[in-house]
Amino acid sequence: MFSRRFLVRAAASVVGVTLVAGSLAACSAGGSSSSSGSGGKVTISFLTQNDSQSVATGKKYIAAFEKAYPNITVKMDTQPAGTQGDNLTKTKLSTGEMDDVFYYNDGSLLQALDPDKQLVDLSDQSWVKGLTKDFKQVVSTSKGLYGAPVGTSFAGGVLYNKKVYSKLGLSVPTSWAEFMSNSEKIKAQDPSVTPILQTYGDDWTAQLFVLGDFANVAKADPKWASNYTKGKEKYSNQPALAGFQHQQDTKDAGLYNKDFASVTNIQGMKLLADGNAAQYPMLTASLATVAQNEPSELNDIGFFALPADNAADTQATIWQPNAFYIPKTTTGDKLDAAKKFIAYISSSKTGCKLQQSTGVVTGPFVNSACKLSGSVPAAVTDEQKYFDSGATSSALEFLSPIKGPNLPSITVQVGSGISTAKQGAALYDQDVKKQAQQLGLPGW
Amino acid sequence: MTTTTTALIPDDVLPARAPSGARRRRMKSMYPSWFYIPAAALFLVFFAMPTFASFYFAFTRWSLFAHTFIGWANFVEFFQDPQLTTGFINTFIYGFVTSAAKVVLGLALAVLLTSPVLGRGYLRAVVFFPVLVSTIGVGLTFKALLDPFHGLINGVLKNVFGITGPGWLTDPHMALLTVAAVDVWKGVGIATLIFIAGIVAVPQEYFEAARVDGAGSWAIFRRITLPLSRPAMGTVIILSLIGGLRSFDLIYAMTQGGPGFSSDVIASVIYKQYQAGFFGLSTAGNVILFVVVTAIMIPVSRLLNGKGAEEE
């Protein structure tokens, strides 16, 4: 799964968030005594991911919040990210042992938690009106809104080395044909530079050609996502097939690095930052790696959306930040305290500042209460241009609950030449069918 | 995998068969029958019930929050899955290749290590050592060593022999066999140990008599060592075949079934389905794996044990 795998490695270092709390069993025992004495101290628990970045961020959030609300104590719990964390989250919710506030993905992964039954509806909260339309959509069902955003959004497209581009006199492509001709020029003019970088040592990175192309699909057919959920659209057909086709085209044209099968994402970001590779279909969230390892080269990296065949369809695909949620098992004083905690971190002045200062900015906030301040990486400035002109769409995983689990392996096959674009797309359609059936969606 | 492990417990331990066995045993048993109750209760709760529950959940679509009974749909789905076709073929290739290699290499090493060679005890320890190391550790270490561009193995091939080494784990045609080779390296110690025990148990008189009759080394091996270590061979084949058919950890540590699906085996397909949240489907997969392993192992074990018994 793309967003999860990604989160395991990178979100940690992105404007992250995190917290945790003690087990609910322990809490409810303590809770009954505190709720009897109203106005007394309340302790809530907060669950975040267990990587060091998330833990450090969580501690900062708690410290700031407890200072602002001296009557509330927040205890932090942690769990792993990724699919292991997904299963733990489901287990904790179904056994009633979830923390009072927890940090989790939105979009398709949230839908899998059965939010109407499991989570507290937050649509009456004052911060809701400041959320972007796109974000509201990914934390809502027809019955309510369940999450508050933490951190900034990020985009999926092509990260490119600006120095290489200016040295070879290239300009940012807006159509697929221009992108291919740029790549061929790089190959012809400077054989030491990889035109298009691929890093299948981390298989999730192989999905970018397909996932990053989704905004273009949405532009070509605005109803695509909802028809896809109903089982009426397939990846085997255009416009969605284009993503797979582009991956095969670039492979067939011999534009990849020769060690594409074993390089990892972190190694790839270094190759790009150092100018050994010119273009890398990737998420802007991976800039966090560069900020950490090669900070002086961060502004050499620019961003453009994966070009569509037709230049007019080219848009940037946007990933939404994760969110804070409250389970239905949190009630009374604890529920009030949990709501205060969420509002404070998500949209207070201090909260916004913390969200930006604890990681690398990878895109705009989705909450109008928070504004980016100070300098941002060059790639984020490039990304902002797409927002300003309205040429963006959320990634498919936020618009449809269906995301097949085998997309990383399938795109590795297409990018390695093991299968063709058509075969890969057909295989993915089959993979998606299982997910849709598991969710009990009509039409499958 | 719980299903499989549990299910491999011999039939006569299952409670269904217990009454007749218990009645017979009661005559000579020195313990009253209630002595068996704690063990039986533990067995029922932790082994029998989960096993039967898994047979039920294999017929449901199960999300941990709820499950719906869907009949045979999971099994149909499983057999239509193109991954599974690859997974099945790979499982058999992996199981038979590792098993055969362990038998041949194990026997060769055992013959060497039972003959009077210098530093025999030390060499025996060296051969056995990889068995003691964590499988995941071995997998990750070899993954680093086998990296096609930065790994030690291809580095040596290039700098010492001037050969460009292949992409051991990144070439879809090689990945599975590379993992199998590492599995053999790691597991051959057990096979060797069993063969050594088998060869050592052969009475020395046979060898002496053969030598007096003028038999050469090959004839001794062919006519005495090989036939008389057949019980050991049966054990090695059964153990390594079961291990190979169910293998998962090494493959997952080294390739995660990749590149693409080219080194996926049934166990890793099941694991991925569980990871994706398809609990009913992956349980069905476990049931299938159990049936397949049993269907192969019962005849193999009958055949090998039957022959071994005849000769004794």
How is chain B split into domains, by residue range? 72-306
**Subunit contact A117:B65, Cβ cutoff 8 A:** yes
Residue with the bigger pLDDT between A13 and A279: it is A279
* A317-327 pLDDT per residue, tens: 999 999 999 99
Residue A292 sits in the same domain as residue A194: yes
pLDDT at B28: 66
Residue A188 has pLDDT above 50, yes or no: yes
Query: Mean pLDDT of all residues in chain A?
Result: 86
pLDDT at A13: 41
* A103-122 pLDDT per residue, tens: 999 988 898 888 999 999 99
Measured in whole angstroms, how far is the alpha carbon of residue A380 from the centre of its chain? 15
Q: How many CB atoms lie within 10 A of CB A353?
A: 13
Please report, as a single letter, which amino acid is at residue A92: K
**Subunit contact A405:B149, Cβ cutoff 8 A:** no
pLDDT at A133: 84
**Subunit contact B260:A410, Cβ cutoff 8 A:** yes
Domain boundary among A384, A410, A430: A384
* The architecture CATH gives domain B72-306: Orthogonal Bundle (1.10)
**Subunit contact B277:A86, Cβ cutoff 8 A:** yes
Q: Using the 8-state DSSP alphabet, how is residue A308 labeled? A: B
Range of the domain at A264: 154-319+402-439
pLDDT at B312: 41
Residue A137 has pLDDT above 90, yes or no: no
Residue A93 sits in the same domain as residue A198: no
Residue among B63, B258, B273 minimizing CB distance to A409:
B258
pLDDT at A401: 84
Q: Identify all chain A residues contacting B273, using CB atoms and an 8 Å cutoff.
A: 405
pLDDT at B1: 39
User: Checking DSSP bridges between strand B60-62 and strand A42-49, what pairing results, if any?
Assistant: unpaired
Within-domain flag for A196: yes
Residue A109 sits in the same domain as residue A57: yes
CA separation for the pair B41, B149 (Å, rounded): 56
Residue among A112, A412, A430 minimizing CB distance to B258:
A412
Residue A206 has pLDDT above 80, yes or no: yes
Q: Residue B74: closest CA among chain A residues belongs to which residue?
A: A434
Residue A64 sits in the same domain as residue A137: yes
Q: Which of A414, A6, A386 is nearest to A243 (CA)?
A: A414
Q: Please state, for a pLDDT cut of 70, what percent of chain A lies above it.
A: 91
Q: Identify all chain A residues contacting B65, using CB atoms and an 8 Å cutoff.
A: 90, 93-94, 114, 117-118
B→A interface, C-beta within 8 Å: 61, 63-65, 68, 77, 81-83, 147-150, 167, 169-172, 256-262, 272-273, 275-278, 281
Residue A108 sits in the same domain as residue A179: no
Q: Which among B278, B282, B283 is the top mutation candidate for probing chain A, defined by the most A β-carbons within 10 Å of its own β-carbon?
A: B278
Out of A122-126, A158-162, B28-32, B282-286, least confident range: B28-32
pLDDT at B13: 42
Q: Which among A434, A435, A441, A444 is the top mutation candidate for probing chain B, defined by the most B β-carbons within 10 Å of its own β-carbon?
A: A434
To the nearest 10°, the Cα dihedral for B72, B77, B80, B83?
A: -140
Q: Residue A89: closest CA among chain B residues belongs to which residue?
A: B64
Q: Which of A215, A241, A183, A203 is nearest to A421 (CA)?
A: A241
Out of A226-230, A241-245, A338-342, B5-9, least confident range: B5-9
Q: Using the 8-state DSSP alphabet, how is residue B225 labeled? A: I
Residue A303 sits in the same domain as residue A339: no
Residue among B63, B147, B169 minimizing CB distance to A438:
B63
Task: With H, G, I as helix, E, B as strand and everything else as coil, classify residue A43.
Answer: strand
pLDDT at B76: 85
Distance from CA of B284 to the nearest CA of A (A): 14
Distance from CA of A431 to the nearest CA of B (A): 9
**Subunit contact B277:A112, Cβ cutoff 8 A:** yes
Task: Give, in degrees to the nearest 5, the angle at Cα B98 between B97 and B103.
Answer: 100
Q: What does the pLDDT average to over A180-195?
A: 92
Distance from CA of B111 to the nearest CA of A (A): 40
Radius of gyration of chain A (CA): 22
Q: How many CB atoms lie within 10 A of CB B3?
A: 20
Within-domain flag for A26: no
Q: Identify all chain A residues contacting B281, using CB atoms and an 8 Å cutoff.
A: 434, 438
Out of A158-172, A336-350, B268-282, least confident range: B268-282
**Subunit contact B277:A410, Cβ cutoff 8 A:** no
Where does the pLDDT of residue A302 fall: very low under 50, low under 70, confident under 90, or very high at 90 and above?
A: very high
Residue A191 sits in the same domain as residue A209: yes
**B172, burial (CB in 10 Å: exposed 0-12, middle 13-18, buried 19+):** buried
Residue B63 has pLDDT above 70, yes or no: yes
CA separation for the pair A430, A400 (Å, rounded): 16
Residue A214 sits in the same domain as residue A70: no
Task: With H, G, I as helix, E, B as strand and everything else as coil, classify residue B95.
Answer: helix
pLDDT at A323: 93
Where does the pLDDT of residue B62 fall: very low under 50, low under 70, confident under 90, or very high at 90 and above?
A: confident
pLDDT at B282: 86
Residue A358 sits in the same domain as residue A311: no
How many independent structural domains does chain A possess?
A: 2
**A21, burial (CB in 10 Å: exposed 0-12, middle 13-18, buried 19+):** buried
Q: Identify all chain A residues contacting B278, using CB atoms and an 8 Å cutoff.
A: 434-435, 438
A→B interface, C-beta within 8 Å: 1, 83, 86-87, 90-91, 93-94, 112, 114, 117-118, 200, 203, 258-259, 261-262, 405-406, 409-410, 412-413, 416, 418-419, 427, 430, 434-435, 437-438, 440
**Subunit contact B278:A434, Cβ cutoff 8 A:** yes
Q: Identify all chain B residues contacting A412, using CB atoms and an 8 Å cutoff.
A: 258-260
Q: How many CB atoms lie within 10 A of CB A13?
A: 23
**Subunit contact A112:B63, Cβ cutoff 8 A:** yes
CA separation for the pair A1, A265 (Å, rounded): 15
* B99-113 pLDDT per residue, tens: 999 999 999 999 999
Residue A18 has pLDDT above 70, yes or no: no
Residue A168 sits in the same domain as residue A273: yes
Residue with the bigger pLDDT between A231 and A438: it is A231
**Subunit contact B148:A410, Cβ cutoff 8 A:** no
How many A-B residue pairs are in contact by the CB < 8 A criterion? 87
Where does the pLDDT of residue B306 fall: very low under 50, low under 70, confident under 90, or very high at 90 and above?
A: low
What's the pTM value of the predicted model, to 2 decimals?
0.78
Distance from CA of B290 to the nearest CA of A (A): 23
Of the CA atoms within 13 Å of residue A346, those in its CB half-sphere come to 28
In this structure, are residues A209 and A176 in contact, taking their beta carbons and an 8 Å threshold? no
CA separation for the pair A158, A173 (Å, rounded): 10
Note the helical H segments in chain B. Answer: 2-7, 18-28, 37-43, 49-57, 73-80, 82-114, 120-132, 135-145, 152-161, 175-200, 204-212, 217-220, 226-228, 230-246, 249-254, 266-275, 279-311
Distance from CA of B61 to the nearest CA of A (A): 6
Strand order in the sheet with A72-79: A72-79, A42-49, A101-104, A323-325, A148-149
The CATH number covering residue A308 comes to 3.40.190.10
pLDDT at B257: 86
Q: What does the pLDDT average to over B278-284?
A: 87
Q: Using the 8-state DSSP alphabet, how is residue A360 labeled? A: B
Residue A416 sits in the same domain as residue A380: no
Distance from CA of B158 to the nearest CA of A (A): 16
Residue among B65, B257, B260 minimizing CB distance to A114:
B65
Q: Please state, for a pLDDT cut of 90, what percent of chain A lies above it.
A: 55
Within-domain flag for A13: no
Distance from CA of A115 to the nearest CA of B (A): 12
Residue with the bigger pLDDT between A403 and A83: it is A403
Residue B281 has pLDDT above 90, yes or no: no
Long-range pairs for B67-76: beta carbons < 8 A, 24 or more residues apart: B67/B280, B68/A440, B70/B280, B74/B280, B74/B281, B74/B283, B74/B284, B75/B284, B75/B288
Q: Which among B81, B84, B164 is the top mutation candidate for probing chain A, defined by the most A β-carbons within 10 Å of its own β-carbon?
A: B81
**Subunit contact B260:A413, Cβ cutoff 8 A:** yes
Distance from CA of B142 to the nearest CA of A (A): 14
Residue A334 has pLDDT above 90, yes or no: yes
* A29-66 pLDDT per residue, tens: 333 334 434 457 899 999 998 887 788 889 999 999 99
Residue A431 sits in the same domain as residue A282: yes
pLDDT at A62: 95
Model ipTM value: 0.76
Where does the pLDDT of residue B27 fall: very low under 50, low under 70, confident under 90, or very high at 90 and above?
A: low
Reply yes or no: is the peptide bond before residue B259 cis, omega within 30 of 0: yes
pLDDT at A253: 92
A147 contact partners, CB below 8 Å, separation of at least 6: A104, A106, A110, A122, A139, A323, A324, A325
Out of A131-145, B62-76, B121-135, B212-226, least confident range: B62-76
* A359-389 pLDDT per residue, tens: 778 888 888 888 887 778 889 889 988 988 8
Residue B260 has pLDDT above 50, yes or no: yes
Reply yes or no: is the peptide bond before residue A239 cis, omega within 30 of 0: yes
Q: Identify all chain B residues contacting A259, using CB atoms and an 8 Å cutoff.
A: 148-149
Residue B119 has pLDDT above 60, yes or no: yes
**Subunit contact B275:A405, Cβ cutoff 8 A:** yes
The neighbouring-strand residues paired with B69 are: B60
pLDDT at B307: 55
pLDDT at A181: 92
Residue B59 has pLDDT above 70, yes or no: yes
Q: What does the pLDDT average to over B142-159?
A: 89
